[in-house]
Copies of this chain bind each other. A is one copy, B any other.
Amino acid sequence: MTGEFAELAAIQAMLPAPSAPGEVWMGDDAAVLGLPDATWLLLAADTVVAGVHADLALTGLDDFGWKALAASVSDIAAMGGRPLHSLVTVAGPPGTDLGLLYEGLRVAAAEHACPIVGGDLANAPSLVVTVAVTGSCERAPVLRSGARPGDGIWVTGPLGASAAGLRCYQERAVARVGGTATAPCRALMLAHARPRARLSAGLAARDGGATAMIDVSDGLSADLGHVADASGVGIRLDRVPVAEGATEEDALGGGEDFELVFCAADPGRVGEAFAGLPAPLRIGVCTEDPGERTLAGRPLALTGWEHRW
């Protein structure tokens, strides 16, 4: 059995690479394709699977639909782009409450300004929802590969809320206390069930001179590892901001927070670009040694979600 990232690399090696300057096909959060007016079209797709990405005994089909859409739009945010349109395909068993599923998809599409323009329905033994999104970028999108030694590393907010929110749902289910979650738990559960793509933060990071960016979908250490691999830099973290009620383990390995992590050379420019938005948190620096992955001087554990093949 191999891991998702090794399989993705093997697939990328099988497939042709782009020939047009500036285009990026596989290997980043979204593909980058040239448009006739010299702007860029972004394309990304994410799949969510019932029982794998969400426990439908804990959260609703509407939450599942929301997450499917938000996860794909987050890939556009991670490029510094704006979403345009989405296609939704649903494979699932007869009896699936499509009305509830699409209610979550519809609200997420409205909240993220990414209308659903088509898709497909097919029967399958278990529920799989795929959302493909297009996005636009009037200037060069922010890739994973542009970080340089000396660049600072920022995250757009504290991490781990989604993983901690899942724990709240699980504890509530065991205690059978219904809707009486504590206030911190309510915020964490919302972060788990209704994560939002950080579109404004992605645009600000791009305007702030971000050299590399990724969204925290698999977990900070895994996702930042992709940036380090693509950019050929080391990672030296001073700290990891942990969401209230979450643990450092949640923050490092939980994933699905959809906060953005980015690298940039000029803290002043970053600060200016984020004026009016929650200030991003500087958590470390890119280093010369591509083998370095440390947090407060200790090795950064490579935790986080990876599908197995």
Contacts and interface: CB of A to CB of B under 8 A. Distances in A.
B49 A85 contact: no
If over half of A's interface residues share one DSSP class (helix, strand or loop), that class is named, otherwise mixed; here it is mixed
Contact of A39 (B36, B53, B88, B115): B36
A89 interface: yes
A128 B124 contact: yes
A123 interface: yes
Interface in A72-92: 84-85, 87-91
A7 interface: yes
A54 to B, nearest CB: 12
**In the assembly, how many copies of this chain are there?**
2
B37 A124 contact: no
A309 B43 contact: no
A110 to B, nearest CB: 8
Given A36-B36, A87-B132, A309-B95, A49 B117 contact: no
Contacts of A25: 115-118
Contacts of A178: none
Interface stretch (A9-17, A152-160, A201-209, A245-253): A9-17
Contacts of A33: 84-85, 117
Contacts of A90: 47
21 contacts: A4-B121, A11-B121, A14-B99, A14-B102, A15-B102, A15-B109, A15-B115, A16-B115, A25-B115, A25-B116, A25-B117, A28-B118, A35-B36, A36-B37, A37-B37, A43-B85, A47-B90, A47-B122, A123-B308, A124-B128, A134-B134
Interface of A: 1, 4, 7-8, 10-11, 14-16, 18, 25-26, 28, 30-31, 33, 35-37, 39, 41, 43-49, 51-53, 84-85, 87-91, 94-96, 98-99, 102-103, 106, 109-110, 115-126, 128, 130, 132, 134, 307-309
